[in-house]
Structure formats: C-alpha cells, structure tokens
Amino acid sequence: MQQYFIDHEINSGDTVALDEEILYHLIKVLRKDASYIFRLADRKGDIYHAHLTDKKNCLILEKLDENNELDCEITCILSLIKSDKLELCIQKLVELGVKRIIPYEAKRSVMKIKDLKKMVRLRKIAREAAEQSHRNIVPEVTDPIGFKELKNYMSDVNYICYESERNIADISSSSSISYIIGPEGGFEEEEYKNICELGFASISLGKRILRAETAALYMTSIIVGKNQ
C-alpha cells in the first residue's frame, strides 16, 4: 500500500488538501481513484488510511496503531562519497531505520556538496525511501558538516569505523548511537586521532576492507540487530 507524508497534523474524519506531487503520483502515475486506500503519515509520526474525495482532497479514515521506528535512535555520519553511491547509501540507510544522516566533509572526500539542488535531491531520496519502507517519520538529512561540527551530533554511544583497527567491539544496546564512516581512501591519520579524542570509540568491522557504502549499511545492520 502506497504511503505519503504531509507536513501538518491530521485526525480521523478530516478532509485534507494534498500537494501537487502526491496528487500527480496517485492520479497520473498510479492511476488511482477514490476507491483506492492509501497511507498518510503526519508530522507527529501518526499514520492513517485515507482515500481521494476529488482531484485535490482526501478523507482521513482510521488511525493505524503502528510504530515502525527503532527504539534506538541511530545517527549515521557519512563521509561524502561519489554521488551515485551516496544516493544509494542514503536510500538503504533510511530503509534500515536510521534516524539522522549527517554528510561529513572528510579531508579525503573527493566529492563536495556546494549545490543546494543536490541537498534537495538527497532529502527527496530519503523521503521516498521512508514512504516505501512505511516509516513513521522522514529521517533528517542535514547540510554537510566538517570536523568542528561533529560534537553536535554525538549520541549516548559513539563509534568510528576504522579499517586499521583490530578491535571488533561488541556493540551494545543504547537509546542513541552515532557512528562515523570514512570516505574513499579512508580517514587521514591525524583526522582519525582527532575524532577519537572527541569521544568516538574506534572499532573494526572485520578483517576485510569494506567500501564506504558497504561499511555504513553493515554497521547499521549490526546496531539494528542489537536494538530491535
């Protein structure tokens, strides 16, 4: 069943005007009419069934007793990698349940995001992935940050995944976890040490060297497994 997000609160029995993008997708792409029931999530994270009443509005039906969010709030601090890999990684991180994605401009990041249109696209990818996976919320994708801003995105537990580390940590359950993934080519040694000094525990993801996007998804899967 198709799901969409709207940016205000709703209640059962409300008649709600849908934005043009949702209407276009329902009517032109999916070719649905008033008989089709779809899911609508509001800004509180509540999900309802709804159906079209005309070509602009929908009627909100029953509220669903459904919470598809993890108990652990996961923040992925993802070093900027090549555009296509970054987009795919954001999509999959959202599907896995990450709460926030923080693009990080590491010293070895080849890609730099200077174009506002690029951030709009990344946030749209996150929104569509949240709809597809029936999330209650759309995960936040922040503007890119540098080292000085890292401390603002730390959680109760914080990790840096580092290819030269030999300690495969037993990741514990927690109400919030942040982890940082390096770019193609990994972190510079000084940058790695500075991040550790901030309070990020250095861990290994195994004997093999993983691509950045693989490491991000693997780390998320481990955390989800510990915090279901």
* pLDDT of amino acid 112: 77
Query: Residue 115's pLDDT is what?
Result: 65
Helix (H, G, I), strand (E, B) or coil at 221: helix
Q: Give the integer Cα–Cα distance in Å for 189 and 156.
A: 25
Q: Which domains does the chain have, with CATH numbers?
A: 3-64 (2.40.240.20), 73-226 (3.40.1280.10)
Which range (36-40, 97-101, 164-168, 203-207) has the least confidence? 164-168
Residue 164 phi/psi, 5° resolution? -90, -5
Q: Which single residue is written with the structure tokens 């990790």?
A: 159
As a whole number of Å, the end-to-end CA separation of the chain is: 24
In the prediction, which pLDDT does 113 show?
74
Rounded CA-CA distance 220/177 in Å is 10
| CA neighbor of 129 nearest in space, from 94, 161, 86 | 94
Give the whole-angstrom CA distance, residue 75 versus residue 180: 9
Q: What is the mean pLDDT of residues 92-112?
A: 93
Question: What is the model's pLDDT at position 49?
Answer: 97
Tell me the CB-side half-sphere exposure of residue 200, using CA atoms within 13 A. 28
Answer yes or no: is pLDDT of 168 > 70: no
Residue type, 34: A
pLDDT (tens digit, 9 = 90+) per residue, 169-224?
A: 667 788 999 999 999 888 999 999 999 999 999 988 877 888 899 999 999 999 99
Q: Could you give the strand order of the β-sheet that contains 157-161, starting from the edge strand earlier in sequence?
A: 140-141, 100-104, 73-79, 176-181, 157-161, 201-203
pLDDT digits (tens, 9 = 90+) for 103-161: 999 998 888 777 667 899 999 999 999 999 999 999 999 999 999 999 999 999 999 99
pLDDT value of position 226: 76
Structure tokens, 125: 């990818």
Q: Is the pLDDT of residue 74 over 80?
A: yes
Instruction: Look at residue 52 and give its three-state secondary structure.
Output: strand
